[in-house]
Structure 1
Amino acid sequence: MFIDKAVIHLKAGKGGDGAVAFRREKYVPAGGPAGGDGGKGGDVVFVVDEGMRTLMDFRYKKHYKAESGEDGGNKNMFGKDGANLELHVPPGTIIRDEKTGAIIADLTHKDDRVVAAKGGKGGKGNTHFKTATRQAPRFAIAGEAGEIVSVVLELKLIADVGLVGFPNVGKSTLLSVVTSATPKIANYHFTTITPNLGVVSTKYGDSFVLADIPGLIEGAHEGTGLGHEFLRHVERTKLLIHVLDAAGIEGRDPLEDFDKINQELKLYNEKLATKPQIVAANKTDIPSSQENVELIKKALKPKGIKVFTISAATREGIDDLMVYAAERLKELETIPEVIENNEEEKMYVFNPEEEKLFTIRREDNKYIVEGKFITRLVNSTNFDDMDSLAYFQKVLRKRGIIDELKEMGIQEGDLVKIDDIEFEYYD
């Protein structure tokens, strides 16, 4: 089954906690702190796998979690880093942040890879907190939580040539006779509801990948008839073969069809309408097609568009069409294969500095301090130990939390809630 879109949920590994430990050696009666650091949490990484063609693997399994780092140990032993979780995706996969829609990565080439969720840093052991006045610190720092993110995976087929046109003009039949692909073929609209790929080998030994894009209709750029789902597969192609029903057996004018399809391409993305095109006037085995063929050639010659008269049913003219397509591809090798949906759309790069360390809000005469940093600080504090408590207070001041509380008008005796801890404020 062809699956070209999936939403999945990622959780990177938590960093291991730093250890509280002391030297307990035979001839060292007053050994100092010896707590090791925690290991880093594993990242969630996407990697291109050329052997994959769909996002089927992500249809049923939606949640993925990387390994957490190990806690630090005694004798300054560091915890082991958590293993990264690698998720394999087919070439042409775009990864978006589900919440913002921003592109995290556009993976097109073999072995392309990107970290989509970063693992948390390991915590510091109590060895780091020894000072001249604090000889035996009884606290350490907890590991950071790993990133949690939901992403949308979108697959844009990477094909050299795309077949476009209205439904039922013979695209699937053409694909079936020039490649080993076996698309579903029948005489009704939207026989093809998913893109099909095949490899064309010409009589001169050239080869290229050909994609049968499901039939486009008016309004496709607005999503009508799954328009967006189909149009995005056109974007990576270097060349388009525009298939027209020269016989007009359904009462449509092939030249009007040509203009309408190109208008849909332009409205979806103006760059699509500028892609090089070859016109394949199909169904020329039907006698009524001859008049239309002449009209098509006459109308498109001033535009510099080459027109081939073919019959997918009898294979007439198909070899010449494929040879010409291979030649045009050689000329177009320098044209980039990636076109963005929106020129203003920018790649999102993870930056932990973008996230504010904490937020403060006032609720029912209580000041509530929240944030990942705050949770980690509370989890790292031993509130029964004076040294640990003093360190906690020092960090509150150093990180600007006390200053912001003052700016918000806190008074002595007011309640402050930090994570699960509540206390009265006194400067």
Structure 2
Amino acid sequence: MKEGNFIDYVKLHVSSGKGGKGSAHLHREKYIEKGGPDGGDGGRGGHVILRGNENLWTLYEFNFKRHIKAEHGKDGGKQRSTGADGEDAYIDVPLGTVVRDTDTNEIIDEITEHDQEIIIAKGGMGGRGNWHFKTSTHQTPRYSQPGIEGEERDITLELKVLADVGLVGFPNAGKSTLLSVITAAKPKIANYEFTTLKPNLGIVKYRDFQTFVMADIPGIIEGAAEGKGLGYRFLRHIERNSTLLFLIPCDADNIKKQYEILLDELRRYNPELLDKDRFIAISKSDMLDAELKEELNMQLKEEFKGLPYMFISSVAQQGIQELKDKLWKNLNKDPEDKF
């Protein structure tokens, strides 16, 4: 999925280098007629290596370069000189990138740390020179090994954004507005559905210069797990969030039902998402007067029964600091504790 410079899904064809061939050279020198074999080994072909880079946030550069090829190893030389190894081809990717084998769809590995390296395609070994094949009965072998071919494969890179808190909600629930208020991020905001077409990350500044990361993803609709709307392509972005913040507008027809639909979509996509900490924010609450808010509060206490929730208004800046306090406390709590 892409919008602007944000690309979180690409398919690449990678080829490692072929090993250099061994040399079949025979030593020749003045006054030495039959010096014997002295052919060196070929160099290793270059690997194709995936490398984590904390300064990247998108797979945009691969929109223009889909074929990655490492250098071939150099051939062996005389005097048992080994050929140079082929230069490795590095693929720098953002943290949170999952690499799959395109043909089998199996996960090869994941990049989660800066400078973490994964060899995606190994370079071929260099061939052995003829001096390896000299024996007591065969003093002058005139042959050597060719280099081994490199690997060639198709891979798929999927980016899952790394954030502490993931915003979950229907389209136009106010997620982008909240992110713009609580962080310095500037997501696109408008009064229509699917304003957000790409994940947005923002750093929430907390007390004493502490911070945590919040992600706003495109809105969920019923059937998203089956690919409706923007489908599964954005759901993977909340797999790495430790806390899910459900944002439901106070003017929804049925707040509890909206929450259950969102929860069911997450369950159908990946049941493990339900193991994450959940918190519910009732947005746009500046539309409620004190009486309506109290009435709604009594109703939600009965319906949610222990699920943590609170009323907020991003526009009116109501409950924002309290929300940050609750999120920070939860992110830094003992693993056994709950909201």
Q: Which residue of 2 aligns with 1:244?
A: 248
CA separation in 1, counterparts of 2:319 and 2:302?
A: 19
5+ unaligned residues in a row in structure 1: which ranges? 336-427
**Per-residue displacement from partner, 1:282-302 (whole Å, max 9, x unpaired)?**
1111137624343223321x2
Whether 2:101 is the aligned partner of 1:100: answer no
Q: Note if 1:273 corresponds to 2:277.
A: no
Deviation, 1:333, is 6.5
Confirm or deny: 8 A CA contact 2:218 2:230 kept in the other structure. no
Counterpart of 1:194?
198
Higher relative contact order (CA 8 A, sep 6+): 2
Whether the 8 Å contact between 1:163 and 1:241 is mirrored in structure 2 is: yes
Match of 1:285, SS state, is helix
After TM superposition, the score normalised by the length of structure 2 is 0.94
Contact kept in structure 2, 1:65 and 1:85, CA below 8 Å: yes
Q: Structure 2: how far apart are the matches of 1:296 and 1:287?
A: 15
Which residue does the alignment assign to 2:312? 310
Distance 2:112 2:64 in 1: 24
Name 1:327's counterpart in structure 2. 329
CA apart distance, 1:31: 1.6
Q: Equivalent of 2:154, from 150, 157, 164?
A: 150
Partner of residue 126 from structure 1, selected from 117, 122, 130: 130
Alignment of 1:215-230 (within 5 A): 215-230=219-234
| Contact 1:196 1:212 (8 Å CA) reproduced | yes
Query: Which residue, 31, 40, 58 being the options, matches 1:54?
Result: 58
Query: CA shift at 1:132, angstroms?
Result: 2.5
Cross-structure match for 1:29? 33
Is the CA contact 2:19–2:42 (under 8 Å) kept in the aligned structure 1?
yes
Q: CA deviation at 1:226?
A: 2.2
Structure number with larger C-alpha Rg: 1
The 2-side partners of 1:203 and 1:128 are apart by 68
Question: Secondary structure at the residue paired with 1:315?
Answer: coil
| 1:269-310 Cα deviation digits (max 9, x unpaired) | 11112211111001111137624343223321x2x3211110
The amino acid that maps onto 2:308 is: K
Map of 2:174 onto structure 1: 170
Residue pair 1:41, 1:121 contacting (<8 A) in 2 also = yes
Contact 2:96 2:159 in 1 (8 A): yes
The aligned runs of 1:323-362 (5 Å cut-off) are 323-331=325-333
Counterpart amino acid of 1:322? Answer: K
1:264 matched residue in structure 2: 265
1:277 match: secondary structure:
strand
Alpha-carbon deviation of 1:204? Answer: 4.8
Does structure 1 retain, via aligned residues, the 8 Å contact 2:18–2:45?
yes
Q: Distance in 2 between matches of 1:204 and 1:261?
A: 34
Task: State the one-letter code of the partner of 1:200.
Answer: V
Query: Quick one: which amino acid aligns to residue 35 of structure 1?
Result: G
Report the CA distance shift for 1:206/1:306 in structure 2 as closer, same or farther (over 3 A).
farther
Q: Could you give the per-residue CA deviations for residues 302-349 of structure 1, whole angstroms, max 9, x where no partner exists?
A: 2x32111101111100110011101100016799xxxxxxxxxxxxxx
Q: How far is 1:49 from its partner?
A: 0.2
CA shift in 2, pair 1:114/1:333, >3 Å = farther
Counterpart amino acid of 1:91?
L
Work out the CA distance in 2 between the residues paired with 1:45 and 1:155: 17
Equivalent in the alignment of 1:83: 87
Q: Aligned equivalents of 2:336 and 2:126: distance in 1? A: 46
SS at 1:233 equivalent: helix
Please say if residues 263 and 273 of structure 1, whose CA atoms lie closer than 8 Å, have aligned partners that are also in contact: no
Question: Identity over the aligned pairs, expressed in percent?
Answer: 45
Deviation at 1:129, TM superposition (A): 1.5
Give the letter aligned to residue 195 of structure 2.
T
Quick one: which amino acid aligns to residue 315 of structure 1? Q
